[in-house]
């Protein structure tokens, strides 16, 4: 399970979120299931992170994913100041990656607390 987490956590979610959203905007369409898919990703990665013992590893992988997201955004996303207002493209991608990380930690916390409560009830 750890290896699945390592692979899933390296997905550049911040970049993919804005890449799809911006691409749909250019087509004149709405990104209908983007938010739901992003929440499912946060839920899955949060569930998988419970198998990682050290939270430093989680932080490291999220930082690497954020760096990868920013690098991909520089090459694949236009720096459209009207679309990414009031921030710049890179800041928006970093914020999205940060929100993904915080969501993952919240899911991890609740699952660890739930597992701890179930273990204490069964003891």
Please write the tens of the pLDDT for every residue from 47-92. Answer: 999 999 888 999 999 999 999 999 999 999 998 888 888 899 999 9
pTM for the full predicted model? 0.90
**Interatomic CA distance for residues 50 and 61, integer angstroms:** 14
What domain count does the chain have?
Answer: 1
Do residues 65 and 10 make contact, with C-beta atoms less than 8 angstroms apart? yes
Do residues 97 and 66 make contact, with C-beta atoms less than 8 angstroms apart? yes
> Could you count the other beta carbons within 10 Å of the beta carbon of residue 58?
21
**Interatomic CA distance for residues 20 and 56, integer angstroms:** 30
Q: Reply yes or no: is the peptide bond before residue 119 cis, omega within 30 of 0.
A: no
Domain residue limits at 112: 2-122
């Amino acid at each position: 399970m750890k290896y699945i987490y390592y692979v899933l956590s390296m997905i550049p979610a911040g970049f993919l979120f804005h890449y799809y959203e911006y691409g749909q905007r250019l087509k004149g369409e709405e990104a209908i299931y983007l938010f739901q898919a992003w929440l499912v990703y946060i839920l899955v990665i949060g569930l998988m992170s419970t198998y990682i013992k050290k939270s430093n590893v989680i932080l490291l992988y999220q930082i690497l994913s954020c760096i990868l997201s920013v690098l991909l955004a520089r090459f694949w996303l236009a720096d459209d100041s009207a679309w990414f207002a009031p921030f710049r493209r890179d800041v928006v991608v970093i914020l999205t990656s940060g929100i993904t990380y915080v969501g993952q930690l919240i899911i991890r916390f609740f699952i660890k607390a739930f597992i701890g409560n179930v273990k204490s009830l069964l003891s």
